[in-house]
Amino acid sequence: MAKFELKLPKMGESVAEATITNWLKKVGETIAADEAVLEIATDKVDSEVPSEVSGTLVEILFQVDDVVKVGQTIAIIETEGGALETPKVADVAAPIVAAVEKTIEVAKETVATADFSTSDKFFSPLVKNIAKEEGVSIAELESISGSGKEGRVTKEDIIKYVGSRKLGTGSQPSQPTTHNPQPKTSKAQPVSVNGGDEIVEMDRMRKLISGYMMASVQTSAHVQSFIEVDVTNIVKWRDKVKTAFEKREGEKLTYTPIFMEAVAKAIKDFPGMNISVDGDYIIKRKNINLGMAAALPNGNLIVPVIKNADQLNLVGMAKAVNDLGNRAKLGKLKPDDTQGGTYTVTNVGTFGSVFGTPIINQPQVGILALGAIRKVPAVIETPEGDFIGIRQKMFLSHSYDHRVVDGALGGSFVKRVAEYLEAFDANREY
């Protein structure tokens, strides 16, 4: 018999750790190759970890709610064979070394700080290290409402707390503010509950979404521009080619890839929308990676990313949109699928909304909402004069960060998207 070390696999360049949310197998149970052993969660997406071998699970090294670094051994599987089997060292060595070095560095800096042993509550070493590094006192740590098992404070809980605290006590403007003090953050009022009400705790993803949305509103100066677009040519073209497109390409042709294509072109024309803000610095993004907001079956929201969207033709865009959308619905997105977005598009028209005012997906500086396509009476200009006709129209709603995007850029960008859509060639080949 041999033993195989099941390690947390690499899940993308930007993902260094994950939280264990559920063990699908118990010690002593048989596991087939490629069978899921446990479920994990990053800050954006949930996924499963499959076994690379067949055998019997003999040891579990981490429990639910534990945070595990990429490359760490999480379980031992007994297999038929010789010596201990492990994945290639090159796949896991770098993340482990980096994690250890960071832990040592934090430990050196915080060894003389607060002693959490005086608390009666249990806090994981990771939570303690974050608390020490951010100067969170024992009293503050004990006051945090934990979302983990038995009310334990998880990594996400303390990071959200620290982020909220920083936003509430952020640096003030350099000019005098004696006569214009910053507004105080008011505490939420307690909610009255009667006997007929039901209290349901938010799930992990909803808590994360809540934190992201509040942080975005408090970080970016949101402003909106709206524009109405005539998409009659697009509707006619899609109706004409969608059956042949699906037969030839094996993909359904929705409106989304057409809109994404226009957005990618407009970003190339206005690269000032493809930036991020880091303190007092602006980061100009080289790649155009379009986030595509998608509703999940449980009502939550996720934003998979189409990488290098400007390099895709319409067929490639359709395949990317369908692939990410389908895997989002099935819960099969990989952590790296939601990383690296530089601009986001959300389709509020899916639910019948004419337009909306979406919240920016940080650290991006803009997000475009696509409204519902409607038949409306419109003035049509011709050489023979104007007349009223029925046209297919929709609204585009552009939210952008007024700290770095002024009205001229924000308005010009969404106008350019509209121009690309209205100039769509109804006779084009796909």
Give the pLDDT confidence of 330-382 residue by residue, as tens digits.
Answer: 888 888 899 899 999 999 998 899 999 999 999 999 999 999 999 999 998 88
pLDDT for the residue numbered 181: 43
DSSP reduced 3-state for 84? coil
pLDDT for the residue numbered 360: 96
Please list, in sequence order, all residues whose beta carbon lies within 8 angstroms of the beta carbon of residue 165, skipping any fewer than 6 positions away: none
Tell me the per-residue pLDDT of 200-213, one tens digit each, with 9 for 90 and over.
888 877 888 888 89
pLDDT for the residue numbered 173: 35
402 is catalytic: yes
Tell me the per-residue pLDDT of 163-180, one tens digit each, with 9 for 90 and over.
776 555 433 333 333 334
pLDDT for the residue numbered 111: 40
pLDDT for the residue numbered 169: 42
Which two three-digit tokens encode residue 247?
């037969």
Helices (H), 135-280: 138-143, 155-168, 204-219, 232-249, 256-269
Which two three-digit tokens encode residue 145?
């409402």
Q: Cβ distance 1 to 79 under 8 Å?
A: yes
406 is catalytic: yes
CB crowding 259-272: b at 16 or more within 10 Å, else e: bbbbbbbbbeebeb
Residue 400 buriedness (CB in 10 A; 0-12 / 13-18 / 19+): buried
Alpha carbon separation from 74 to 2, 39, 263, 335 (Å, rounded)? 17, 12, 42, 18
Torsion over CA: 140, 142, 143, 148 (sign) = positive
Q: Omega into 176 within 30° of 0, i.e. cis?
A: no
Tell me which residue of 402, 403, 398 sits closest to 266, measured CA to CA.
Answer: 398
Residue labelled with tokens 């709610």: 65
pLDDT for the residue numbered 414: 98
CB crowding 43-76: b at 16 or more within 10 Å, else e: bbbbbebbbebebbbeebebeebbbbbbbbbbbb
Longest Cα–Cα distance in the chain: 88
Catalytic residue among 197, 401, 402, 425: 402
pLDDT for the residue numbered 47: 79
**Full-model pTM:** 0.65
> For every one of its 430 residues, what pLDDT tens digit does the chain have, with 9 covering 90 and above?
788 999 998 776 557 788 898 899 999 999 998 888 998 887 667 778 889 899 999 999 999 888 898 889 999 999 876 544 444 444 445 554 555 455 445 444 544 445 666 676 777 767 777 887 777 888 788 888 787 766 778 877 888 887 776 555 433 333 333 334 444 445 667 777 777 888 888 887 788 888 889 999 999 999 999 999 999 999 999 999 999 999 999 999 999 999 999 999 999 999 999 999 998 999 999 999 999 998 887 777 889 999 999 999 999 999 999 999 999 988 888 888 998 999 999 999 988 999 999 999 999 999 999 999 999 999 988 898 999 999 999 999 999 999 999 999 999 999 999 999 999 988 888 7
Helices and strands, number each (H, E), in the chain: 9, 19
pLDDT for the residue numbered 388: 94
| Distance from the first to the final alpha carbon of the chain | 57
Tell me which residue of 339, 347, 341 sits closest to 47, measured CA to CA.
Answer: 339
